Structure 1
Amino acid sequence: MEATASTPKRRLPAGRKADLAAYVEQVGEVTVGGLAEHFNVSIDTIRRDLDQLDREGVVIRTHGGAMSAEGQLKDRALDVRLRMQTEEKEKIARLAAGLIDDGAVVMINAGTTTLALARALRSHRDLTIATNNLRIPAEIPPSAFRDLYVFGGAVRAITQATTGPVTFTMTPGGPEVDIRCDLALIAVGAIDEAGFSTSNMGDANMMAEMIQRAERTAILADSSKFGRRLFAQVTTLDRVDYLVTDTAPTSDFAAALAQAEVEVISG
């Protein structure tokens, strides 16, 4: 039957998703329920659309909604990232905590996932922790650690972390102390078959140096980071031992991790 001028055209899914992406970009932050009402479709449909747009890097999925990506290379303030993927981060934190033995020496980088990890260490004892994450001293239970060190360097206010060399000196201007750790726990911004990446060059250098000083390395990343690449490469897949995530990767990416002998730990 031929459509007439008075017959309303059915909006194709691709057109709806384009309108949805533009709406999220305009509003900034939205809820699934609000989008379903705005576009007159079911909540399940909106969730599927947002999941696809998140995979494409157009929007960023949050708990119960989404927010504008505003470009993949742009940093997001810590208070914004603390509200994103909260359930996934808590799950990853619990799994990562299981890799840490009492009395271990660990390095932990900046990030909201590693803040969740710090809280998950409440049952641990006698840890030695070195970090560039300025929030960790306030988040980790005092009973969990014997010694806690914070790396010096320039402070990045947007991430509330330091960026600089992974070193300590016994006295000001004295020689550097050669430091090593049992396990480096590194939260990254993106993962693809080429490796792990983040948006800031200084952060990438610091993460890479932590990995070099560790006997083992665990990458912490929720599944929204899969199949993405950001500005600065941290390291390749074969340089790490574990990927701790909320959902196990599939298909080609899973095969690449297996070939690199990365053990995937997921909930």
Structure 2
Amino acid sequence: MLVEERYAIILKLVEERGKVTVPELMELLCTSKETIRRDLLFLNKQNKIKKVHGGAMKIESSLYEAKYSDRARVNLKSKERIGKLAAGYIKDFDVIEIDVGTTALEVAKHIKGVQEIKVITYSIPALQVLIQKKEKGDFTGEIIFIGGSVDCQRLMTSGPSLMEQLKPLSFDKAFIGVSGLSDNGPMTYNINEGYVQKMLVNNSNEVFAIMDSTKVQKRSLFNFCDFSKIHYLITDDCDMPDTIKKSLKENNIKWIK
């Protein structure tokens, strides 16, 4: 098979599925791991795809966010692992905040074995999961849902009412999803959500930024805080640029992966 034919097949699969893995491409194209990696590196340099650990992703516009249901399917295994790692930091009697987004949802799904916690969220999917887990006995304590105008695309509440309710609250830990991580710090697509996240960061004793490898060196619309405000960065196994590694070290951020 000609190299141009491989490129065309890879691009078609990435467009259709959103993500492909190296083993999938090896089997489909009947070629070696080294060849597939070279192909992905070339297409990545051409800005046709985004190379990630173990495969490649479709490049999305940095100013546009896909629908919640579409995002939920992307890199799901990595998000599950990140959620499990993050939930492991939740202790008895903690007051925690769980942000909106598909990675933050995995934190809610993995809460287990903790007593008398308070969980605050403005994420509708997270609320549903938390109710189910509390009924199962995975944790005891209180669930506090912060209301406001309902954003049906992002499955969250928003608006002035949300901000007013969050303003006086204080958290032991905030688990905040990141849409993009640049040299300037974590970013989000949505300005309104960005202001909420900014408040959450300022109101929390410990800030956990959570994201999968597709968000690395991806600029988004709103920079909601700088690196000095983050205490933990929890990711999958990703290639972090040296500039960001330097910022993590300078700000004593614990990078968990």
Contact 1:115/1:136 (<8 A) preserved: yes
Contact 2:121/2:144 (<8 A) preserved: yes
Indicate which of 195, 198, 206 corresponds to 1:216.
206
Residue 243 of structure 1, CA deviation: 0.5
Indicate which of 231, 254, 257 corresponds to 1:263.
254
Quickly say closer, same or farther: Cα 1:258–1:125, change in 2 above 3 A.
same
Task: Report the TM-score, using the length of structure 2 for normalisation.
Answer: 0.81
Which protein is richer in helix relative to its size?
2
What is the number of equivalent residue pairs in this alignment? Answer: 248
The one-letter amino acid paired with 2:185 is G
Contact 2:19/2:74 (<8 A) preserved: no
Contact 1:75/1:158 (<8 A) preserved: no
Quickly say closer, same or farther: Cα 1:119–1:55, change in 2 above 3 A.
farther
Gaps of 5+ in 1: 1-7, 169-175
State which structure, 1 or 2, has the greater radius of gyration over its C-alpha atoms: 1
Deviations 1:53-112 (A, max 9, x none): 569874467999766434232211122112111121121112111221111001111011
The one-letter amino acid paired with 1:253 is I
Gaps of 5+ in 2: none
Question: Are 1:89 and 2:79 counterparts?
Answer: yes
Question: Are 1:162 and 2:157 counterparts?
Answer: yes
Contact 1:63/1:83 (<8 A) preserved: no
The one-letter amino acid paired with 2:149 is A
For 1:149, the equivalent position in structure 2 comes to 144
Contact 2:172/2:206 (<8 A) preserved: yes
Question: Aligned residues: percent identity?
Answer: 24
Task: Report the TM-score, using the length of structure 1 for normalisation.
Answer: 0.78
Quickly say closer, same or farther: Cα 1:30–1:237, change in 2 above 3 A.
closer
The one-letter amino acid paired with 1:163 is S
Residue 207 of structure 1, CA deviation: 0.9
The one-letter amino acid paired with 2:177 is A
Q: Secondary structure at the match of 2:73?
A: coil
**Aligned equivalents of 1:158, 1:191: Cα separation in 2:** 23
